[in-house]
């Protein structure tokens, strides 16, 4: 039986990029309604026009005066790092060895992986994030836990098993063969199951042998519908190590390109210290540069050049990078993005920031036909925001003169406290709820870790 529901409030979404299309890029409806049939958006527009068209038994939820947007999208973060966040005093390579690789080993245990997956997804939803591209640990159990919990919440998530076979503790390494076989089995089991999508995830060239890089490239060629996610050009010491391990291609991006890992579905984390040739390689390949502002500041990695990426025609996505990053909130992430751009004499309007975390990230992830918009046909993943949720914000908003100024206050001072509700496929989610995992048959995999 079809179920129709209507969600009423102040609506904001994007149909184009504000940095190129200006005010024509956004839609703002002061008293609007989203009509949802079986989890999909059927219609969107003025309440006065749509309410009379609803069937008599339609449920109407009224969120006025709150602002309703498409659920936020986070293009890069790490499940095993929920207890790595806020680790003191190190830059990337030391931070990986001292904190991250220690904590990630705990994900070998399915009970720990399940605990992290529940916390992680609940925290994302509480922050208004309904889709994310997620690195699990090297352990198959962590991917199982993440997808099982995501399936139970019906969220659209992209995730993958990290592939790493050197320069890491023995307990965290796989091999070229087991990484290939396990990733392949996970793709067969999870990619396209419900709303789950798989990302082939070689961690970065430093932790993969040429054999494993080739295996990852083979997976990408055999599964062109899957994303590839990895790290590049984040930290000077990392870059020197990468080029020392792989001198032939001549630059970091060339290494990924050599192994067939730089394509239009490649989500390349950080991209801070890029050469002219690397920008060109990205542009030609259509590879996505993923900007992680809170992480880049926290780890002292450097400043992402947003204007350069745009000028080169390189698609940009934005992300929290938990737990190098310091907040699950995409609002807080964009507040830090604004500051990173300010340090380079660039600006980021509130419209551009809110576009980036909805339609912009959906496009970069090639999911814009499904999520990131309130246009009919899209999946009804929504975030309901109270821009005046805190005393400081309510006080500041007394002087806001227009929508642009109100939204700039929201982006600059906002976080999870502004999230009044989150909807997944039209269903309101209680982030504190712990849905019981659906029964699942154990996978048959090459590597039982």
Contact residues for ligand GUN (CB under 6 A)?
78, 92, 96, 100, 203-204, 231, 234, 295, 321, 324
Of 234 and 416, nearer to Zn ion (C-beta) is: 234
Phi, psi of 199 (to 5 degrees): -120, 125
Which region holds residue 90: left if phi is over 0, alpha if psi is between -120 and 50, else beta? beta
Of 135 and 408, nearer to Zn ion (C-beta) is: 135
Window contacting Zn ion (CB under 5 A); options: 93-101, 122-130, 266-274, 414-422 = 266-274
Using Cβ positions, the residue closest to ligand GUN within the complex turns out to be 324
User: Min. distance of Cβ 391 from ligand GUN in angstroms?
Assistant: 34
User: How many residues lie near Zn ion (CB under 5 A)?
Assistant: 2
Of 149 and 321, nearer to ligand GUN (C-beta) is: 321
Of 14 and 99, nearer to Zn ion (C-beta) is: 99
Residues 267-286 that bind Zn ion (CB under 5 A): 269
Of 130 and 230, nearer to Zn ion (C-beta) is: 230
| Residue 204 contact among Zn ion, ligand GUN, none, beta carbon within 5 to 8 Å by kind | ligand GUN
| Residue 449 contact among ligand GUN, Zn ion, none, beta carbon within 5 to 8 Å by kind | none
User: Min. distance of Cβ 304 from ligand GUN in angstroms?
Assistant: 13
User: Min. distance of Cβ 186 from Zn ion in angstroms?
Assistant: 19
| Residue 70 contact among Zn ion, ligand GUN, none, beta carbon within 5 to 8 Å by kind | none
Of 292 and 331, nearer to Zn ion (C-beta) is: 292
Q: Which residues pair with 61 in a beta bridge?
A: 7
User: Min. distance of Cβ 202 from Zn ion in angstroms?
Assistant: 12
Of 174 and 379, nearer to ligand GUN (C-beta) is: 174
User: Min. distance of Cβ 238 from ligand GUN in angstroms?
Assistant: 7
| Residue 201 contact among ligand GUN, Zn ion, none, beta carbon within 5 to 8 Å by kind | none
Contact 306, 348 (CB under 8 A): yes
User: Min. distance of Cβ 216 from Zn ion in angstroms?
Assistant: 16
Of 95 and 423, nearer to Zn ion (C-beta) is: 95
User: Min. distance of Cβ 106 from ligand GUN in angstroms?
Assistant: 15
User: Min. distance of Cβ 379 from ligand GUN in angstroms?
Assistant: 29
Which residue has tokens 């259509």?
A: 286
Nearest to 180 by CA among 205, 200, 196, 199: 200
3-state SS, the chain, equals CCCEEEEEEEEEEECCCHHHHHHHHEEEEEEEEEEEECCEEEEEEEHHHHHHHCCCCCEEEEEEEEEEEECEEEEEEEHHHCCCCCCCCCCHHHHHHHHHHHHHHHHHCHHHHHHHHHHHHHHHHHCCEEEEEEECCCCHHHHHHHHHHHHHHCCEEEEECEECCCCCCHHHCCCHHHHHHHHHHHHHHHCCCCCCEEEEEECCHHHCCHHHHHHHHHHHHHCCCCEEEEEECCCHHHHHHHHHHCCCCCCHHHHHHHCCCCCCCEEEEECCCCCHHHHHHHHHHCCEEEECHHHHHHCCCCCCCHHHHHHCCCCEEECCCCCCCCCCCHHHHHHHHHHHHHCCCCCCCHHHHHHHHHHHHHHHCCCCCCCCCCCCCCECCEEEECCCCCHHHHHHHCCCCCHHHHHHHHHHHCCHHHEEEEEECCEEECCCCCCCCCCCCCCCCCCCC
| Residue 92 contact among Zn ion, ligand GUN, none, beta carbon within 5 to 8 Å by kind | ligand GUN
User: What mask of x and - would describe binding to Zn ion in positions 304 to 333, judged by CB under 5 A?
Assistant: -----------------x------------
Window contacting Zn ion (CB under 5 A); options: 94-102, 136-144, 265-273, 274-282 = 265-273
Of 92 and 357, nearer to ligand GUN (C-beta) is: 92
User: Min. distance of Cβ 437 from Zn ion in angstroms?
Assistant: 26
**Residues near Zn ion (CB under 5 A):** 269, 321
């Amino acid at each position: 039986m079809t179920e129709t529901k209507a969600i009423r409030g102040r609506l904001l979404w994007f149909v184009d990029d504000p940095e190129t299309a200006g005010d024509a890029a956004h839609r703002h409806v002061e008293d609007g309604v989203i009509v949802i049939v079986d989890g999909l958006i059927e219609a969107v527009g003025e309440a006065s026009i749509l309410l009379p068209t609803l069937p008599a038994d339609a449920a109407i939820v009224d969120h006025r005066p709150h602002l309703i947007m498409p659920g936020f999208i986070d293009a890069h973060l790490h499940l095993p790092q929920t207890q790595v966040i806020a680790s003191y005093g190190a830059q990337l390579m030391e931070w990986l060895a001292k904190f991250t690789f220690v904590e990630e080993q705990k994900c070998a245990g399915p009970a720990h992986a399940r605990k992290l997956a529940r916390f992680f997804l609940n925290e994302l939803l509480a922050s208004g994030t309904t889709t994310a591209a997620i690195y699990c640990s090297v352990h198959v159990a962590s991917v199982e836990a993440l997808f099982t919990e995501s399936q139970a919440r019906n969220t659209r998530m992209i995730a993958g098993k990290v592939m790493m076979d050197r320069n890491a503790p023995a307990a965290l390494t796989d091999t070229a063969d087991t990484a290939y076989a396990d990733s392949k089995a996970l793709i067969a089991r999870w990619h396209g199951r419900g709303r789950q999508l798989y990302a082939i995830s070689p961690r970065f060239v430093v932790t993969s042998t040429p054999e494993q890089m080739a295996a990852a490239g083979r997976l990408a060629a055999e599964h062109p519908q899957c994303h590839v996610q990895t790290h590049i050009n984040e930290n000077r010491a990392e870059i020197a190590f990468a080029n020392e391990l792989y001198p032939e291609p001549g630059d970091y991006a060339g290494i990924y390109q050599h192994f067939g890992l730089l394509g239009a579905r490649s989500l390349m984390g950080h991209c801070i210290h890029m050469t002219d040739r690397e920008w060109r390689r990205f542009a030609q390949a259509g590879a996505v540069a993923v900007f992680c502002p809170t992480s880049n500041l926290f780890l002292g990695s450097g400043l992402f050049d947003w204007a350069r990426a745009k000028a080169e025609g390189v698609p940009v996505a934005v992300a929290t990078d938990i737990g190098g990053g310091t907040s699950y909130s995409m609002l807080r992430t964009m507040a830090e993005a604004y500051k990173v751009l300010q340090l380079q004499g660039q600006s980021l309007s509130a419209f551009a920031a809110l576009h980036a975390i909805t339609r912009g990230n959906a496009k970069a992830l090639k999911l814009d036909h499904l999520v990131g918009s309130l246009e009919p046909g899209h999946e009804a993943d929504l975030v309901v925001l109270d821009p005046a949720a805190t005393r400081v914000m309510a006080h500041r908003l007394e002087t806001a003169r227009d929508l642009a100024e109100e939204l700039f206050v929201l982006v600059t001072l906002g976080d999870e406290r502004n999230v009044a509700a989150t909807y997944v496929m039209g269903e309101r989610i209680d982030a504190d709820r712990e849905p019981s995992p659906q029964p699942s048959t154990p996978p048959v995999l090459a590597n039982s870790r």
